Structure 1
Amino acid sequence: MKKYIILIIVFLFSALCLNVFGQTKHFPFEVLKTGNGNRSIIFIPGFASSGDVWNETKATFESDFTCYTLTMAGFAGRKAQPNASFENWKNGIANYIKENNIEKPILVGHSMGGGLALAIAADYPDLISKIVVVDAIPCLAALNDSTFISKENNDCSATVNQMTGMTNDQFYDMQKKTMPRLLADASKLDMVVDWSVKSDRTTFGQMYCDFFNIDLREKIEQIKCPALILLESYFINLKPAIEGQYKNLKTANFQYAATGLHFIMYDDTAWYMGQLNNFIKS
């Protein structure tokens, strides 16, 4: 009997050690892995969006590629994590690629996800084979302020306090008014608003502030891989400013949608899918 008690104690101690020391590393996102191709695509959604924004896109590629669809921590109902920042999320995605031995994936990022794709390809140029940037630019703040200089120690507490201080109704109303400026397809509006409403307010405020402080205009010079830059139709009016921001990205291929707003995958679907197919499958 004593022998069995000792065995049980040893088993429980081993289980405790495995639980404490052998835990799976936490990344700042959830991952949905689908498809079983030899090549891989990592889909990075935009600000406060769910990975579901890529559902129709990835369905086209799952027969030929292994797809990793991310939803960032704190967005669209996912559990928040401390220390959310653009830098931490960038490094988290790169570490996920390395630790899971994903060989030369293609990154497809929308909005802030496009910014993350640019930053990863710049800081880890040998890790990535191609990037697709869907309606994102290297420095969002500089589009309205040509003199913009990124702050070294950016204090986001005021933005966080503003977002967390709103009532649920106030926050919902803000998102309901904002989203039609970003999405023309009315059938998708409620879904996209719901992603924002379900997002953690602290993460929302922190990342909103942090992303507006990001300036990748110089950094993108380090990108080696081919880059497809898909831009909403309105940006054709700002072509010199947009492409001026990208002047250091020598591999850039610029394409402008004919119609629609920021969520190009919903507003100009046929054109968008044609561009992706030509670039990714080539």
Structure 2
Amino acid sequence: MKNSILYIYPIFLVLLLLLASASFACAAESKIEFKVEVSGSGKPIILIPGLISSGEVWNETVAALSDYQTHVFTMPGFAGVPAIMNEERYLTAFKQGIVGYIEYNKLSDVTLIGHSMGGFLSLWIAADSHPAIEKIIVVDALPFLAAAWNPQAQTGFNEASAQQYLNSFLEMDEEDEYAGRLMMARTMTADQAKWEMLAKWALDSDLRTEAWVVTEMMGIDLQNEVGNIQVPVLVMGAYQENPQFPAYTLERMEQIYSGQYQQVSDLQLKIAENSGHFIMYDKPEWMIEKMRTFLSKQNQ
């Protein structure tokens, strides 16, 4: 049985209130708000979705990992969860909030599983060598995404770029935005049954949060920091041949991933061929098999 829980973590104080079937922890000003669904029992796994995605992206994964206790996040501002107000570094707040959740709930031997943005957050948290983290599973994410196509990419937050990203959506009417979101969904998975759902999650997300998170992530380079990770890391990358980009071969994709993760001391890199970005939809059996093998292996 799943329990849907809304957690708000203050920096200094947590007040726990019980209200109907939901639990709340709140403070007057400084807070981070998540939707978290907890199910099962066993060693804890925290599952973090990607940009403008709901935690529901992990539904099939959770069902396949029923012998673990799963904590499925939907991040603030995405897929209908209220956005953080007056924030300038959303991604940093997400990271701090996840760590706060782990510490508040006294979780140990935690595996972080993250897709895309969630994978980036998992790497960032693990790079701080938090003692509660036991393993990391990254689903189609890189330590420095911007450098994948621009080796000269600059670090740092570019507010003008974030505002430009935001304005590009604000200039659209609802119909145009829906069409664009649906088109993007079609490029990310071959599973037609998921397209409408992915588009709806995007439409239910806060545009400013999306724009600022994308820009912040593009300006953070973790390629050296991931060398601090002291736990095993499984990275699963998605590759799909695209005639429009003939230079982006499987070999080139493997070079990019191997290069960006070269500082990780205990790394397993697996490539899901003929898969879109949402590997959990395009290669579900393959993904679960790789996860289960990795999770069952004892740390050295």
TM-score for the superposition, normalised by structure 2:
0.82
Structure 1: give runs of 5+ residues left out of the alignment: 1-19
- 1:149 Cα shift? 2.0
Match of 2:103 among 95, 98, 102: 98
Match of 1:61 among 62, 65, 89: 65
Q: Which runs of 4+ in 1 moved over 6 A?
A: none
Residue 163 of structure 1 corresponds to 169
Aligned positions of 1:15-34 closer than 5 A:
22=15, 24-25=25-26, 26-34=31-39
- 1:114 Cα shift? 0.3
Deviation string 1:38-78 (CA, Å, 9 cap, x unpaired) is x100000011000000000011222x211100000110111
Q: Does 1:45 align with 2:31?
A: no
Query: Which of the pair has the greater relative contact order for Cα pairs under 8 Å at 6+ separation?
Result: 1
Residue 108 of structure 1 corresponds to 113
Residue 10 of structure 1 corresponds to none
Match of 1:77 among 80, 98, 105: 80
Secondary structure class of the residue paired with 2:133: coil
Task: State how far apart, in whole Å, the 2-side matches of 1:21 and 1:95 are.
Answer: 11
Task: State how far apart, in whole Å, the 2-side matches of 1:208 and 1:152 are.
Answer: 10
Task: State how far apart, in whole Å, the 2-side matches of 1:124 and 1:88 are.
Answer: 18
Residue 250 of structure 2 corresponds to 236
Secondary structure class of the residue paired with 1:240: helix
Structure number having the greater strand percentage:
2
Structure of greater Rg: 1
Q: Does 1:250 align with 2:250?
A: no
Q: Work out whether residues 180 and 189 of structure 1, in 8 Å CA contact, stay in contact via their aligned partners in 2.
A: yes
Q: Work out whether residues 125 and 224 of structure 1, in 8 Å CA contact, stay in contact via their aligned partners in 2.
A: no
Deviation string 1:147-172 (CA, Å, 9 cap, x unpaired) is 11212565422322333343212211
Task: State how far apart, in whole Å, the 2-side matches of 1:218 and 1:49 are.
Answer: 28
TM-score for the superposition, normalised by structure 1:
0.87
Structure 2: give runs of 5+ residues left out of the alignment: 1-12, 17-24, 241-248
| Count of residues in correspondence between the two structures | 261
Structure number having the greater helix percentage:
1
Task: State how far apart, in whole Å, the 2-side matches of 1:171 and 1:215 are.
Answer: 30
- 1:136 Cα shift? 0.4
